[in-house]
Structure 1
Amino acid sequence: MSRFTVDASVLADAAAVAAELGTWKIATGLSDLPTGSEQLGHAGLADALATFRSRWETGASELVEDVRTVGASLAGAAAEYNRLDDAVGSMLTAPPREPSPWRVGPPLGGPAPGGSAPRGGGR
């Protein structure tokens, strides 16, 4: 038997942290770097630095988007665990239901409808 448990509040907390991180702007400082070959003294170095900056900014943007996606997934999982826990909890604490309309006749061994003693006889 598995003892798997989930603390939905931990999932919700992690989702909140991820949501906060997803709002951050990536402060790279790369915009301050010189990019021109006249500033760097070499055209190849300027091209390499421009390529690096472009890739860095793309990667940083994708990372922030991934964090947002993970946050949304964690929030959804926490909500679903809470919904399931509430549903199961209400089934355990709900008052008994009315007898099924599909049941025909008295309960086994109980009195017949309108009678006070179980029906007997060697039938």
Structure 2
Amino acid sequence: MKITLFSFGFKHGYPDANIVWDVRFLPNPYWDEHLREHTGQEEQVATYALENAKAREFLQHLVALLAFTLIQHKAGKREGLRCAIGCTGGRHRSVAVVEYLRNILSKHLDSEDELIVSHRDIDKK
């Protein structure tokens, strides 16, 4: 199964995906002038967005839901699943969540599965 996981910014348009999660409720690194120019691929930005009770609870639910969804799609002989994670600009929070999921999924996918990860709007201002 081909699993495509990507971040995006809602202000740059809605994505073409089977599943879309909105993470604009997470703390926004954009408002910290020391983090604004960095991305969710960097540890300090990911820590800012994800190292809090709200994010930990969300990620716990998200990982469980994604695992369940993948199992069901595989059982239904689906060829692929496109999952999009969105925040306002697609540079901080959504990127951090996608990278977190990449780390989890890469450890648990079957060898015949293909994981494709991208960040659609990471370079947009």
TM interval, short-chain normalised: under 0.3
Higher relative helix content: 1
Scaled by the length of structure 2, the TM-score of the pair is: 0.26
Higher relative contact order (CA 8 A, sep 6+): 2
